[in-house]
Structure formats: structure tokens, C-alpha cells
Amino acid sequence: MPHLLFSLRGVPEDEAEEVRELLSEHSIDFYETSAGNWGISMPALWLNDQTQLQQAQILLHQYQKQRALSQRALYEQLKKEGKAPTLLGNLKHNSIRLLVYLAAIALVLYASVKLIFEFGFTVP
């Protein structure tokens, strides 16, 4: 019976590729499912052989600890250089999207308030 080993939802492509390579290097038999056409299925790596489960989990645990340390070091380096992503930087980079979202929010609020005053309150 297949066993879910590693969910790929929200995982960067470089990390997913490294996990695939890690499993292949250690001759762990796995297969991959995609999110499907609409993105509602389960993208994941599955084990075919239950006897390899413990070995695969140990490898993944070690890999994830190493990846967390390397990504933290990369973030700290970018932070020291002033290149780390920030909220203000993201808002500046996506300013058109921000304006569209704010306009949509304002439109929904305006329509809601207008409908409440038109239908909800009657002055005698």
C-alpha cells in the first residue's frame, strides 16, 4: 500500500527537485502525483515500499534540518546586504496589483454601504 512521504503543496521547485534526487540517490522507490489540471489534487511524493519508510523519513528529516539552516543563513546574508524581501518592498514591486485590490475593496464597501442605506433605513 502506498504511503505519503512528502507533500509538494507550497514547496519551491528547487526543494522538490532536491528531495527527488535525494530519494533516487539512496535507491528509494517512490512515485509522484501532481496537483492536476485545476490544482485540487494532492501533489506529493509517495513510497511504494513500506520497508523503506523509516530510511526515507530519516533522510528527509536530515535534509530538512540542513535546508532550514542554509535558507536561514541565506536570509541573514541578504538581510545584512539590504536585499532581503520586505513588506514595503513587495508593495512597491506590486504597486499596480495593490491599487487594483484597494479599488476592488473600496467598490465592495461602497456598494455594501449604499445598499444598506437604500434598503435598510427608511425615514418617516
pTM of structure: 0.72
Determine the Cα–Cα distance for residues 50 and 100; give it in Å rounded to an integer.
50
pLDDT value at residue 122: 58
In sign, the C-alpha dihedral spanning 26, 29, 30, 31 is positive
* DSSP string covering the chain: --EEEEE-TT--HHHHHHHHHHHHHTT--EEEE--TTTT-S--EEEES-GGGHHHHHHHHHHHHHHHHHHHHHHHHHHHHHT-S--HHHHHHHTHHHHHHHHHHHHHHHHHHHHHIIIII----
Tens-digit pLDDT profile for residues 59-86: 999 999 999 999 999 999 999 998 998 9
pLDDT averaged over every residue in the chain = 93
The C-alpha cell of 53 is what? 519508510
Return the minimum-mean-pLDDT range out of 8-17, 35-44, 110-119. Answer: 110-119
pLDDT value at residue 76: 95
